[in-house]
């Protein structure tokens, strides 16, 4: 049978990604106020008969000094970057915004901080991946989908008849690459002209013949939180490497770097990318696991899919240069000084300007 691979990405205007963005805005503000802040924030958005609701909740250190006024300002700032059009049931001028942030659990704080080495903020399994098949070191089909999505996002922002919610899906492996694009638009848009513009974007990123299915639902006027509920952490496959690579299970957004769901996933990508970039292997998957309050990983597995180019001793010596204890990861990748407002956009990986994408001189 033909081996098909399908990958999907979504725009920053997708309701789940808006929720991720708001949560990471809160995180960034908290770390700016105090770099020792502990943050685990989630956001819920939905349309209502009274004009829409945004709920920001979770656990946060008191030293973060996040006020209700801060939350309201953060929500409005994020929404103004991701939504152009108000609807009756999600009106940017008539929202109910709730701050339900509560103090961090003392038990979690003690587990993480009351140790010579900083312990992991939770148990969990994290995965990092890299391949030499693309310039971004990301899986090829996912990379195509994401590149189309990024260019589509630019078009959405520049075209007055397009709003900002969209999805891109790419299926490769057949005679033709199949591309599905759903993008929010105004009622009076010229769909034929839009098809031509989107087709031009697709042709930049898909070599050979392709088939474009634009807005298969026929109409996509109502989008964002007015069209569908948004929730932090619901796009973990889009946030990572697409469905061809396993995910650890934990979401990234809204979590400070003591949470290994985020920091160890970044470190696993950093290690995997460096193994491939240094030509030790053509493809690499790193899997790491932790127990809450413990600094040493319970598992650190390196899988190279029969593409290893060096002996195992050289690989093991290389891996030892990457200390995977949470405190060491935070220091090495400078994770308390990151602007997390941008990390949620177009996957957390494959962007050369992020600390965990740096190719080290080893």
Instruction: Tell me: do 156 and 197 sit in the same domain.
Output: yes
Domain count, the chain: 2
Does residue 131 form part of some domain?
yes
Last residue of a domain, which of 222, 239, 272? 222
Does residue 317 form part of some domain?
yes
Which of the four pLDDT bands, split at 50, 70 and 90, describes residue 15? very high
pLDDT above 80: residue 1: no
Give the pair of three-digit tokens for residue 344. Answer: 């949620």
Handedness of CA 284, 259, 252, 244 (dihedral sign): positive
Give the pair of three-digit tokens for residue 350. Answer: 């494959």
Report, in angstroms and rounded to the nearest whole number, the Rg of the chain calculated over CA atoms.
Answer: 21
Does residue 85 form part of some domain?
no
Of the listed ranges 84-93, 105-114, 156-165, 282-291, the least confidently predicted one is 105-114
Does residue 274 form part of some domain?
yes
Rounded Cα distance between 169 and 208, Å, is 17
Does residue 295 form part of some domain?
yes
Instruction: Tell me: do 266 and 343 sit in the same domain.
Output: yes
Which of the four pLDDT bands, split at 50, 70 and 90, describes residue 93? very high
pLDDT at 115: 56
Instruction: Tell me: do 131 and 143 sit in the same domain.
Output: no
Which of the four pLDDT bands, split at 50, 70 and 90, describes residue 344? confident
pLDDT at 318: 98
Give the pair of three-digit tokens for residue 77. Answer: 């700032």
Q: What is the mean pLDDT of the chain?
A: 95
Which of the four pLDDT bands, split at 50, 70 and 90, describes residue 114? low
Does residue 197 form part of some domain?
yes
pLDDT above 80: residue 104: no
**CATH code of the domain in which 155 resides:** 3.30.300.10
Average pLDDT over residues 95-124: 81
- Using one digit for the tens of pLDDT, what is the confidence trace for 189-212? 999 999 999 999 999 999 999 999
Instruction: Tell me: do 129 and 167 sit in the same domain.
Output: no
Instruction: Tell me: do 271 and 346 sit in the same domain.
Output: yes
pLDDT at 51: 97
Does residue 42 form part of some domain?
no
Q: What are the φ/ψ torsions at residue 297 (nearest 5 degrees)?
A: -60, 145
Last residue of a domain, which of 195, 222, 249? 222
Range of the domain at 273: 124-137+260-357
Instruction: Tell me: do 151 and 217 sit in the same domain.
Output: yes
Instruction: Tell me: do 310 and 268 sit in the same domain.
Output: yes
Instruction: Tell me: do 351 and 212 sit in the same domain.
Output: no
Average pLDDT over residues 233-243: 97
Q: Is 303 exposed, middle or buried (0-12, 13-18, 19+ CB in 10 A)?
A: middle
Using a pLDDT cut of 70, give the percent of the chain over it: 97
Last residue of a domain, which of 166, 197, 222? 222
Instruction: Tell me: do 131 and 271 sit in the same domain.
Output: yes
Q: What secondary structure does DSSP assign to 14-75, as a single string?
A: SHHHHHHHHHHHHHHHHHHH-TT--EEEEEEEE--TTS-EEEEEEEE-GGG---HHHHHHHH
Rounded Cα distance between 120 and 299, Å, is 13
Maximum CA extent, the chain: 64
């Amino acid at each position: 049978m033909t081996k098909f691979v399908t990958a999907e990405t979504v725009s920053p205007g997708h309701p789940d990604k808006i929720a991720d963005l708001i949560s990471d805005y809160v995180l960034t503000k908290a770390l700016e106020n105090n770099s020792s802040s502990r943050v685990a924030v989630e956001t819920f958005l939905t349309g209502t008969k009274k004009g829409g609701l945004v709920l920001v909740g979770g656990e946060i250190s008191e030293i973060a000094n996040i006020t209700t006024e801060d939350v309201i300002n953060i929500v409005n700032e994020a929404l103004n970057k991701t939504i152009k059009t108000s609807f009756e049931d999600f009106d940017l001028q008539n929202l109910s915004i709730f701050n339900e942030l509560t103090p961090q659990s003392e038990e979690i704080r003690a587990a993480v901080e009351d140790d010579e080495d900083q312990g992991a903020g939770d148990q969990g399994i994290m995965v990092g991946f890299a391949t030499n098949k693309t310039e971004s070191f990301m899986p090829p089909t996912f990379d195509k989908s994401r590149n189309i999505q990024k260019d589509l996002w630019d078009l959405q922002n520049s075209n007055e008849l397009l709003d900002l919610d969209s999805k891109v899906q790419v299926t490769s492996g057949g005679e033709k690459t199949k591309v599905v694009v759903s993008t929010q638009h105004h009622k009076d848009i010229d769909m034929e002209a839009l098809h031509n513009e989107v087709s031009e974007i697709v042709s930049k990123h898909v070599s050979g013949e392709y088939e474009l299915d634009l807005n298969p639902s026929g109409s996509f006027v109502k989008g964002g939180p007015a069209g569908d509920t948004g929730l932090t952490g619901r796009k973990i496959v889009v946030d990572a490497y697409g469905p061809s690579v396993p995910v650890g299970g934990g979401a990234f957004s809204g979590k400070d770097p003591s949470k290994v769901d985020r920091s160890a996933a970044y470190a696993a990508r950093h290690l995997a990318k460096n193994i491939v970039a240094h030509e030790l292997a053509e493809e690499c998957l790193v899997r790491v696991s932790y127990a809450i309050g413990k600094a040493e990983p319970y598992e650190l597995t390196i899988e190279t899919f029969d593409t290893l180019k060096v002996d195992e001793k050289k690989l093991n010596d290389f891996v030892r240069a990457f200390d995977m204890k949470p405190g060491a990861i935070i220091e090495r990748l400078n994770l308390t000084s990151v602007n997390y407002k941008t990390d949620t956009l177009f996957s957390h990986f494959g962007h050369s300007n992020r600390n965990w994408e740096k190719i080290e001189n080893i």
